[in-house]
Structure 1
Amino acid sequence: MSLSARLGIVFMKGLAHVPLPLLRGFGYVLGRILHSAAVPRRRVVDKNLAACFPDKSEAMRQRISRETFVYVAQSWLDRSWLWHAPREVVERRTKLVGAPADIDEVLNGTTPLILFAPHFYGLDAAATSLTMRTPRESTTIYTTQRNPMIDDWVRISRARFGNVKPLNRVDGIKPIVAALRKGGMLYLLPDMDFGRDQSVFVPFFGVPAATVPSLSRFSRLGRAKVLPVLSRVTREGYDIEVLPAWKDFPTDDAVADTALMNERLAGYIETMPSQYYWVHRRFKTRPEGAPSIY
């Protein structure tokens, strides 16, 4: 296991020097192979798309399914240069998009801030792009990888630029809230299903989805603004779109806040449906008595 992990890391370091068009071409071929070969995961994608886009034709959903596997492969290979290429390469290939005032709020602000970063395939590019351009302390939450070598590689790579403090999920909420109240920034990916005990059921594309209410709770406890950050794969690298801060958020109702989060997320996904993380079993936890989607 350690040898294969070591070889994989060496392989990724080597890819960091491959020209981007060639790397993306490799990713395209790999993604098409994965779509054909990874049958169980393809079924998850197809079930997700059928549940969320019942009005789209089967042909359109199949096109999205094929494209999403290409983005899976391309974004994973892109971590080679995101995590190992020189700083100037990463800066050139990641572009911040949005109103100057909103971008300045992220990079130079001093008030507590949560970046709502949905699971688009470019989420690592967005995190790296922002932390390398700001002196602000940034906190991110991660889940420990099974292989210690891979865990160290991922954790160190995500913190290679800027003032980044990775926190494990098992560390609890206290260090996260403390960092926010000191004027820090939290890069948060809350569009996840962590099981019945840690989630609330709210609609996602009209389907009840177990969703962690952490965006509302961290925002309230940390007295923090929420700004969405959307990552988009482009031919030149990535566009990192910073949207305006949500107004009147959070409220005293975490369930209503989480429902609003999913509603707005659905609107973001509609703009680039192939780039969302459909390979995840988004509906794995079902309401009592509801049949499995998968």
Structure 2
Amino acid sequence: MTASTTPSRGPLLKTLLSLAVLGMLRITRHLPLSWLRALGAVLGWLLYALVGRRRRIAEINLALCFPQHDAAQRRRMVRQHFVLFAQAWLDRGWLWEGSAEQVRSRLRLRGAVHELQSTAPTLLFAPHFVGMDAGWIGLTAHVERRFCGLYARQRNPVMDQWMAEGRRRFGEPHIVAKSAGLKALVSALRAGEPLYLLPDMDYGPRDSVFVPFYGVTAATIPSLSRFARMGGARVLPILSRLTPEGYDITVLPPWQDFPTEDVVADTARMNRLLQEWIDETPEQYYWVHKRFKTRPAGEASFYR
């Protein structure tokens, strides 16, 4: 074969690496949770040392959001975040392939759990804490009803299949592709399927509004307000916290006086409440994402 017709080794290597990672997770999921968390701590320290680009993003985010802390305090927060991130990543092995008994025993639902049985159209606001996947599994494993969730196809087909199957393992959830558009999601809401949303990242300028997040202007998708209005739905926050015993998944009471006629004010309210929850366990929020990537016209990037 000529160079132009030789098959690329890239996809094959990615497939082999993915299979190796899945093989490791299928072995480590049998470990006692304390051992698995110790392994995650080691992996987190390695990631902190080796993945400089993501470390720098987290440092910039924390400098913007917690200017009252000095540089040494923020470095400790970043190191702890990498540990928690790695521990939560390893936990996907037992979350998606462990026994049902094991999964349910490690995921504890707390708070206004009874609200999940309501037939009223419901939006579940699930912020990007490291335990976000545990939150979804906890709901579908413990609550006997059908939930609706969004799914973005992964580029790697091996990981895509594993993630998709893992998120479908309990309760026969209704999974909607992000490309399906609003109609499918609104229909699910009106049919009584609680919709699990994670709208607190920077998804670019399209359909976003600029509202404060820790006092910094941040592009934010106003989907909670818009879906609540279109589907006549209420909002229940779902907070997932990693603990030594597994995860605490807290269901907060429904928001009052939401939505209003002002989608920007509604979205600013979402960010204000999110700040309060982050302040309780700041290291567990997803700081390796470029939360302030999209800037207003003429404003320089923070991440250069």
Q: 1:258 — aligned with what? A: 267
Q: Does 2:237 correspond to 1:201?
A: no
> In 2, are the aligned partners of 1:28 and 1:73 still within 8 Å (CA)?
yes
CA–CA separation in structure 2 for the residues paired with 1:197 and 1:85: 39
Please state whether the residue corresponding to 2:254 is helix, strand or coil.
Answer: coil
Please state whether the residue corresponding to 2:130 is helix, strand or coil.
Answer: coil
CA–CA separation in structure 2 for the residues paired with 1:201 and 1:224: 24
* Aligned amino acid, residue 130 of structure 1: L
> In 2, are the aligned partners of 1:177 and 1:221 still within 8 Å (CA)?
yes
Q: Does 2:127 correspond to 1:114?
A: no
Q: What whole-Å deviation, never above 9, does each CA across 1:27-48 have from its counterpart, x for those lacking one?
A: 0011011111111110000000
Q: What whole-Å deviation, never above 9, does each CA across 1:222-266 have from its counterpart, x for those lacking one?
A: 111101111111100011111111000111211111111001101
CA–CA separation in structure 2 for the residues paired with 1:29 and 1:14: 17
> In 2, are the aligned partners of 1:135 and 1:163 still within 8 Å (CA)?
no
Q: Does 2:102 correspond to 1:81?
A: no
* TM superposition score normalised by structure 2: 0.93
* Aligned amino acid, residue 187 of structure 1: Y
* Aligned amino acid, residue 49 of structure 1: L
Q: Does 2:252 correspond to 1:243?
A: yes
Matches within 5 A, 1:1-294: 1-98=14-111, 102-106=112-116, 108-294=117-303
> In 2, are the aligned partners of 1:140 and 1:166 still within 8 Å (CA)?
yes
Q: CA deviation at 1:7?
A: 2.3
Q: What whole-Å deviation, never above 9, does each CA across 1:86-125 have from its counterpart, x for those lacking one?
A: 0110111111121xxx20111x221111110000000110
Q: CA deviation at 1:163?
A: 2.7
CA–CA separation in structure 2 for the residues paired with 1:69 and 1:285: 24
Q: CA deviation at 1:219?
A: 1.2
Which structure has the greater CA radius of gyration? Answer: 2
* Aligned amino acid, residue 262 of structure 2: D
Q: CA deviation at 1:143?
A: 1.5
CA–CA separation in structure 2 for the residues paired with 1:142 and 1:211: 19
Moved more, 171-180 or 129-138: 129-138
CA–CA separation in structure 2 for the residues paired with 1:223 and 1:11: 45
* TM superposition score normalised by structure 1: 0.96
Moved more, 264-273 or 142-151: 142-151
CA–CA separation in structure 2 for the residues paired with 1:31 and 1:128: 23
* Aligned amino acid, residue 39 of structure 2: F
